[in-house]
């Protein structure tokens, strides 16, 4: 059992080390249910009703993220989303979710 736990830990650590790893192709459309359920609690997202349960939390709006690719490059977003960010807790995004979210943010970039 201990050996297994150690193995899982190593896998997790490796997972975080490979931030630049290739993600599956994402679909912006597929990210929407997750965004509606989770992200709009703290982030303002174009096309979604504001549902901020924690207005005190200073989360950048998705438009701000989309408008600043230099500050928020895709690889950084992917690495960042590998871990639930404070104070967002209780759920972990799959690689597919992350790819879909990045596709969604890209679709916002393409609006201009």
How many CA atoms lie less than 13 Å away from 36 in the CB half-sphere? 9
User: Exposure of 107 by Cβ count < 10 A (0-12 exposed, 13-18 middle, 19+ buried)?
Assistant: middle
Instruction: Kindly state whether residue 94 participates in binding ligand HEC, applying the rule CB under 6 A.
Output: no
Distance (Å, rounded) from C-alpha 56 to C-alpha 64?
18
Q: Kindly state the smallest distance separating residue 1's Cβ from ligand HEC, in Å.
A: 32
Please list every residue from 49 through 68 that binds ligand HEC, using CB under 6 A. 54, 57-60, 65
42 binds ligand HEC (CB under 6 A): yes
Tell me if 80 contacts ligand HEC by CB under 6 A: yes
Residues that bind ligand HEC (CB under 6 A): 34, 38-39, 41-43, 54, 57-60, 65, 72, 76-77, 80-81, 85-88, 101
């Amino acid at each position: 059992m201990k050996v297994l736990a150690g193995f899982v830990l190593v896998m997790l650590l490796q997972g975080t080390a490979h931030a630049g790893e290739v993600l599956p192709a994402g679909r912006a459309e597929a990210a929407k249910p997750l965004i509606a359920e989770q992200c709009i609690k703290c982030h303002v997202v174009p096309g979604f009703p504001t549902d901020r349960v924690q207005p005190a939390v200073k989360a950048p709006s998705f438009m701000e993220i989309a408008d600043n690719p230099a500050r928020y490059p895709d690889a950084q977003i992917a690495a960042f989303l590998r871990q639930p960010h404070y104070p967002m807790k209780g759920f972990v995004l799959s690689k597919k979710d992350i790819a879909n979210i990045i596709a969604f943010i890209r679709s916002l970039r393409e609006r201009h």
